[in-house]
């Protein structure tokens, strides 16, 4: 892995731009899986990294640590999407044929606390990138990471590509703005721009502020005796949860398609936070029983009676999205994409990975 300080690396890396991809948000969960996926297919991968006082590159550093690929196959660039001039310069230099735009403020709950940053990073930054692409003098294919949150409180269940957007939080609103703009740029300027309307997709690389990872790390710590209780918010909330590595496959397939199109990427099934939690604990040998209601509901370990789950209203959302379940049949038909790891299966896989990590057994986390 190389950090660009010398533009000659770029020129030798991809003289004609073929099989060369640029990823914004490369250090995130999806960015790291996508990087591995593309490298394995022979791509040269360039990634945009924001300069920060603390390094936040562990997911990408693990790829470098394997030393499977020479440094010129994975090149990181310091930059910021809000700096349009430097983005333009960078893309003219690299000449990627595929751009995967995954960067942005990714937390729905947090978007109520920092709505302006969320709209700037998820909405305006995407528009800025589309404007840069419009002026490029070579053809490029653009993937935009949209979200099920554009549907918020949907009028139709399950949702398809035709369902009207009706976001219920600033995050969903910003993603809807960017999704509409991708379509507008596709129609108006002929850009190969598509949005993946992805439902929740999780993995052992998920950030700990998402409920799935919070649950699986909590279960692993409780199992190991490092923690006694896990505090959660709305246990009745339901999500359409898939497995992140399968979703990056869909992203790539969208950019290989004959025509650009938006696609719903979803499993079509939901499970509740309570069910996800039960599956994660059971995977580590702890069967849970829930008792009580509302904020007084608790979860106990059935064999020991130990209280392990409590409700903390601080985790309740001002408005929670509901009925989010996607119909990915268009992606199934057109891209031959069907997710296999679903809901509680994801919970089991993540809980086992966190348990192994905590035990120090993991050679490398998945």
Alpha carbons 263 and 182: distance in angstroms, whole number:
13
Nearer to ligand GDP, 132 or 349 (CB): 349
Nearer to ligand GDP, 79 or 218 (CB): 218
Alpha carbons 219 and 285: distance in angstroms, whole number:
10
Nearest to 211 by CA among 281, 168, 273: 273
User: How far are the Cα atoms of 29, 162, 255, 290, 361 from residue 140, in angstroms, in the given order?
Assistant: 24, 26, 10, 52, 43
Cβ atoms of 350 and 216 closer than 8 Å: yes
Sheet of 230-232, strands arranged across: 230-232, 307-311, 298-301, 288-291
- In which element (H, E) is residue 258 found? none
- Least distance CB 295 / ligand GDP (angstroms): 12
Nearer to ligand GDP, 10 or 311 (CB): 311
Q: Directed axis angle between helix 273-283 and helix 211-224, to 10°?
A: 30
Cβ atoms of 150 and 197 closer than 8 Å: yes
Range 47-74 burial, b when 16+ CB lie within 10 A, else e = bbbeeeeeeebebbeebeeeeebeeebb
Give the length of the chain: 366
- Least distance CB 20 / ligand GDP (angstroms): 31
Token look-up 């190389």 returns 2
Q: Which residue(s) pair with 53 in the sheet?
A: none
Burial class (CB in 10 A: 0-12, 13-18, 19+), 172: buried
Nearer to ligand GDP, 141 or 214 (CB): 214
Nearer to ligand GDP, 27 or 147 (CB): 147
- Least distance CB 273 / ligand GDP (angstroms): 5
- Least distance CB 294 / ligand GDP (angstroms): 13
Alpha carbons 286 and 222: distance in angstroms, whole number:
10
Nearer to ligand GDP, 86 or 234 (CB): 234
Q: Which residues bind ligand GDP (CB under 6 A)?
A: 108-109, 200, 209-212, 214, 232-234, 237, 239, 273, 315, 317, 320
- Least distance CB 48 / ligand GDP (angstroms): 22
- Least distance CB 320 / ligand GDP (angstroms): 5
- Least distance CB 111 / ligand GDP (angstroms): 9
- Least distance CB 322 / ligand GDP (angstroms): 8
Nearer to ligand GDP, 226 or 231 (CB): 231
Nearer to ligand GDP, 98 or 240 (CB): 240
């Amino acid at each position: 892995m190389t950090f660009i300080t010398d533009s000659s690396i770029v020129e030798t890396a991809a003289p004609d731009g073929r099989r060369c991809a640029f990823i914004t948000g490369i250090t995130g969960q999806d960015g790291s899986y996508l990087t591995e996926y593309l490298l394995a297919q022979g791509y040269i991968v360039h990634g945009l990294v924001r300069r920060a006082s603390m390094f936040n590159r562990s997911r990408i550093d693990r790829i470098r640590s394997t030393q499977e690929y020479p440094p010129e196959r994975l090149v990181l660039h310091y930059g910021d999407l809000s700096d349009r001039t430097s983005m333009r310069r960078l893309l003219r230099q690299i000449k990627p044929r595929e751009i995967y735009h995954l960067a942005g403020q990714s937390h729905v709950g947090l978007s109520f606390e920092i709505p302006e940053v969320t709209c700037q990073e998820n909405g305006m930054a995407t528009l800025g990138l589309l404007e840069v692409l419009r002026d490029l003098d070579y053809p490029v294919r653009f993937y935009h990471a949209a979200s099920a949150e554009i549907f918020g409180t949907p009028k139709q269940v399950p949702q398809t590509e035709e369902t009207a957007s009706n976001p219920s939080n600033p995050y969903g609103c910003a993603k809807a703005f960017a999704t509409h703009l991708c379509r507008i740029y596709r129609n108006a300027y002929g850009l190969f721009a598509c949005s993946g309307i992805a439902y929740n997709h999780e993995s052992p690389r998920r950030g700990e502020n998402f409920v799935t990872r919070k649950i699986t790390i909590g279960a692993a710590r409780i199992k190991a005796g490092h923690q006694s209780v896990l505090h959660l918010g709305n246990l009745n909330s339901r999500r359409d949860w898939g497995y992140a590595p399968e979703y990056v496959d869909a992203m790539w397939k969208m950019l290989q398609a004959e025509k650009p199109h938006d696609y719903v990427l979803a499993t079509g099934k939901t499970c509740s936070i309570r069910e996800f939690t039960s599956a994660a604990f059971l995977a580590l040998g702890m069967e849970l029983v829930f008792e009580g209601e509302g904020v007084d509901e608790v979860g106990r370990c059935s064999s020991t009676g130990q209280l392990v789950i409590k409700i903390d209203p601080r985790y309740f959302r001002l408005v929670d999205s509901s009925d989010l379940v996607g119909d990915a049949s268009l992606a199934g038909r057109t891209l031959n994409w069907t997710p296999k790891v679903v809901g509680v299966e994801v919970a089991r896989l993540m809980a086992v990975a966190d348990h192994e990590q905590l035990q120090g057994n993991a050679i490398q986390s998945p």
